[in-house]
């Protein structure tokens, strides 16, 4: 294997096998057991509810300020909105039209930080073509907008805008219908695998001492007089309950914010409503283009985003007041996406082209009161009671700023002086040494008998933590083989997900640690049994438990497929609700 990788530099470098030592921020079964004891026995400065990007960011922010912090997540890291976004780190061109320059500047600063210092292994530049359809006014209008976008971005590691004639735009994106544009403008933003990024933020927090525990649901609050002094949690695997004491509790639960607020018994300062956004995933060869596309729609924009060997097309924007954990895409959502993208494609996309579909819920602020401390138009943070902070709204790109704001808001509840946020100087796990490893990729690939392409793929998922992944295959070369029916991933990645990345169920690996559920038309069905066997080795599953995991996953896929044939939200949600939860002890609803 990997003969192309054995030439040139690879043969000259005397590669010294680095001994990876214990993995930092390891989230495995032993850690999980020990963390339950810690949650029960210790007093924390900050207890974070929610393992989405905001909660994980808050845990990292607090831990790196020297605070003692724990995070509890009811399901899996990023299992809510943070695995279901458009995956862009961007300023948001539409905010420019609303003259929200401050917001755009803040988001672009975050984009730059991610690309250069904090997560260069996970966040990559991505090109977009904006097809022009109106003569005379549109080009200068878009050019001026993008010039401001670039200027607000300050230092930037992505190329600036480029203006294209119709012929030039069609050379870049031959898939476009000739009569769908009169020219185009190309610009760059950035993209990341959101679920992997969130999990990496959480593991980085664990590396700095935070307790990170998934399948741990907040089911009640502890009070002393009018003060919140902790929470009651339930282990969603065993049904066991315990109390956790903390000086301050941060509600970082996105679309569940109101539910947690109700559970706390107090009135919130703002409310959060959910808006559903659906994406479809199609094979890369179905749209011939060297660039992503951004298309104007009647109310917003539609993105066609390059994603490995695929395109992600999205998104919709409709209100949702049904099951928050399982937003369901309908036939109407899918038809809207196909119809919209087909207005510009020379060869239309059909339903049969779709490899995957996913739906997520935007946590939008609603009903803010005057007392709300509004740190920006995009997110709100408030000390809703002594000892309880709520933060919501915003977007993925600005999670680090939101996290810092949430911890700042908790300062009055914390004993002693609290250091300012330093997360703009804290690279995520795997970032240190990443660039050097990219240059050494051929040699490292040869060392492990892998194709350099495969090694680079691993580096973009794990960065310098790749050593810990590959070390698991020492003496077990069979783990360096691809996952059957999902060859983009190696078997060792599944083992690593269970032993180091906190994956507890088949769906955690098939939908978030890998993206097999949206990248393959079989949606994970064809490899579920193999993946269960690999996970089961680490998690101690017997044959019955492996069987149960596979059955639950297959039921989930079947329910999602069924829901996607339904005409409306209510019918689709009913179909989706037919599948059982993987976490046997989860309370839905929580109160
Ligand atoms: C379709 C769509 C596209 C988007 N695209 C982009 C984009 O391209 N770029 C961008 O910047 N932003 C984007 N966003 C916005 C972004 O994804 C969200 O703002 C962000 O992911 C929200 O993160 P969060 O941590 O607040 O919420 P979540 O990720 O939902 O996390 C909340 C967590 O709280 C947990 N929880 C709930 N109840 C409990 C309990 N009782 N106990 C313990 N845990 C609990 C949940 O399980 C969940 O994991 C998009 C959003 C959508 C819906």
Q: What atom in ligand 1 is closest to the CA of residue 314? A: 1
pLDDT band at 586 (very low <50, low <70, confident <90, very high): very high
Q: What atom in ligand 1 is closest to the CA of residue 88? A: 8
Per-residue pLDDT at 17: 53
3-state SS assignment for residue 202: helix
Lowest mean pLDDT among 16-25, 78-87, 321-330: 16-25
Per-residue pLDDT at 155: 63
In this structure, are residues 190 and 110 in contact, taking their beta carbons and an 8 Å threshold? no
Share of the chain above pLDDT 70, in %: 95
Per-residue pLDDT at 104: 86
Most confident of 145-149, 235-239, 587-591: 235-239
Q: Tell me the CA end-to-end span of the chain in Å, nearest whole number.
A: 55
**Can you tell me which residue has the tokens 């239309």?**
348
Per-residue pLDDT at 151: 79
The yes-or-no verdict on residue 5 having pLDDT over 80 is no
In this structure, are residues 197 and 123 in contact, taking their beta carbons and an 8 Å threshold? yes
Entry pTM: 0.95
Rounded to the nearest angstrom, the gap between the alpha carbon of residue 59 and the centroid of all alpha carbons in its chain is 16
Query: Which mutation among 48, 49, 82, 199 tests ligand 1's pocket best, with the greatest number of atoms within 8 A of CB?
Result: 82
How far is 172 from 175, CA to CA, in rounded Å? Answer: 9
pLDDT band at 377 (very low <50, low <70, confident <90, very high): low
- Ligand 1 pocket at CB < 6 A: 49-55, 72-75, 79-82, 84-88, 90, 217-218, 252-256, 260, 277, 315, 360-363, 394-397, 590
Per-residue pLDDT at 262: 94
**Can you tell me which residue has the tokens 């060997």?**
309
Helices (DSSP H) in 254-358: which residue ranges?
257-264, 331-342
Query: Which mutation among 50, 192, 246 tests ligand 1's pocket best, with the greatest number of atoms within 8 A of CB?
Result: 50
The yes-or-no verdict on residue 153 having pLDDT over 80 is no
Take atom 9 of ligand 1 and give the residue whose Cα is closest.
Answer: 88
The yes-or-no verdict on residue 171 having pLDDT over 60 is yes
Take atom 50 of ligand 1 and give the residue whose Cα is closest.
Answer: 85
How many A from CA of 245 to the centre of ligand 1? 25
Q: What atom in ligand 1 is closest to the CA of residue 87? A: 8
The average pLDDT across 410-416 equals: 96
The yes-or-no verdict on residue 135 having pLDDT over 60 is yes
pLDDT band at 462 (very low <50, low <70, confident <90, very high): very high
Take atom 10 of ligand 1 and give the residue whose Cα is closest.
Answer: 396
pLDDT band at 370 (very low <50, low <70, confident <90, very high): very low
The average pLDDT across 337-355 equals: 97
3-state SS assignment for residue 278: strand
Q: Helix, strand, coil: what percent of the chain each, to 5?
A: 45, 25, 35
Take atom 35 of ligand 1 and give the residue whose Cα is closest.
Answer: 50
Per-residue pLDDT at 3: 36
In this structure, are residues 413 and 228 in contact, taking their beta carbons and an 8 Å threshold? no
Averaged pLDDT score across all residues of the chain: 92
Buried b (16+ CB within 10 A) or exposed e, 98-118: eebeebbbbbbbbbbbbbeeb
């Amino acid at each position: 294997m990997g003969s192309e990788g054995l030439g040139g530099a690879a043969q000259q470098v005397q590669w010294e096998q680095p001994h990876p030592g214990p993995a930092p921020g390891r989230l495995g079964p032993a850690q999980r057991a020990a963390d339950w004891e810690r949650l029960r026995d210790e007093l924390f400065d900050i207890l974070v509810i929610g393992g989405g990007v905001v909660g994980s960011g808050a845990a990292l922010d607090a831990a790196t300020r020297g605070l003692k912090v724990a995070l509890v997540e009811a399901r899996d890291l990023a299992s809510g909105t943070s695995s279901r976004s458009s995956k862009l780190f961007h300023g948001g061109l539409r905010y420019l039209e609303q003259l929200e320059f401050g917001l755009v500047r803040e988001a672009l600063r975050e984009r730059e930080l991610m690309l250069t210092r904090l997560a260069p292994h996970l966040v990559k530049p991505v090109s977009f073509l904006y097809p022009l359809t109106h003569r005379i006014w549109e080009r200068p209008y878009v050019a001026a907008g993008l010039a401001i976008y670039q200027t607000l971005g300050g230092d930037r590691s992505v190329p600036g805008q480029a203006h294209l004639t119709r012929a030039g735009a069609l050379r870049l994106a031959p898939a476009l219908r000739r009569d769908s544009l009169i020219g185009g403008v190309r610009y760059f933003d950035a993209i990341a695998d959101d679920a992997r990024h969130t999990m990496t933020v959480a593991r980085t927090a664990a590396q700095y001492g935070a307790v990170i525990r998934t399948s741990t649901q907040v089911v009640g609050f502890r009070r002393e007089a009018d003060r919140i002094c902790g929470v009651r949690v339930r282990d969603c695997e065993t049904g066991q309950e315990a109390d956790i004491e903390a000086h301050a509790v941060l509600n970082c639960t996105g679309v569940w914010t109101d539910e947690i607020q109700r559970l706390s018994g107090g009135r919130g300062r703002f409310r959060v409503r959910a808006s559903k956004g659906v994406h479809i995933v199609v094979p890369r060869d179905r749209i011939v283009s060297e660039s992503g596309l951004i298309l104007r729609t009647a109310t917003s924009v539609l993105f066609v985003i390059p994603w490995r060997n695929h395109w992600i097309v999205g998104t919709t924007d409709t209100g949702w007041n049904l099951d928050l954990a399982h937003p369901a895409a309908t036939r109407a959502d899918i038809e809207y996406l196909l119809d919209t993208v087909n207005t510009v494609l020379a060869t239309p996309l059909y339903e049969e082209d779709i490899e995957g579909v996913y739906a997520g819920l935007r946590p939008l602020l609603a009903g803010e009161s005057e007392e709300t401390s509004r740190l920006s138009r995009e997110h709100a943070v408030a000390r809703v009671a002594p000892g309880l902070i709520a933060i919501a709204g915003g977007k993925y790109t600005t999670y680090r700023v939101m996290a810092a704001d949430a911890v700042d808001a908790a300062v009055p509840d914390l004993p002693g002086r609290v250091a300012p946020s330093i997360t703009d100087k804290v690279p995520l796990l795997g970032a240190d040494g990443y660039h050097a490893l990219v240059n050494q990729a051929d040699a490292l690939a040869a060392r492990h008998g892998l194709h350099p392409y495969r090694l680079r793929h691993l580096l973009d998922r794990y960065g310098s933590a790749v050593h810990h992944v590959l070390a698991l295959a020492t003496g077990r070369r069979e783990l360096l083989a691809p996952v059957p029916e999902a060859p983009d991933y190696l078997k060792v990645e599944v083992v690593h997900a269970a032993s180091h990345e906190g994956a507890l169920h088949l769906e955690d690996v098939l939908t978030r640690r890998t993206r097999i559920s949206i990248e393959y038309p079989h949606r994970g069905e064809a490899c579920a049994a193999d993946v269960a066997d690999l996970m089961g080795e680490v998690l101690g599953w017997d044959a019955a438990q492996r069987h149960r995991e596979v059955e639950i996953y297959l039921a989930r896929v079947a329910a999602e497929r069924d829901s996607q044939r339904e005409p409306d939200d209510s019918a689709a949600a009913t179909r989706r609700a037919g599948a059982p939860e993987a976490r046997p002890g989860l309370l839905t609803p929580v109160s």
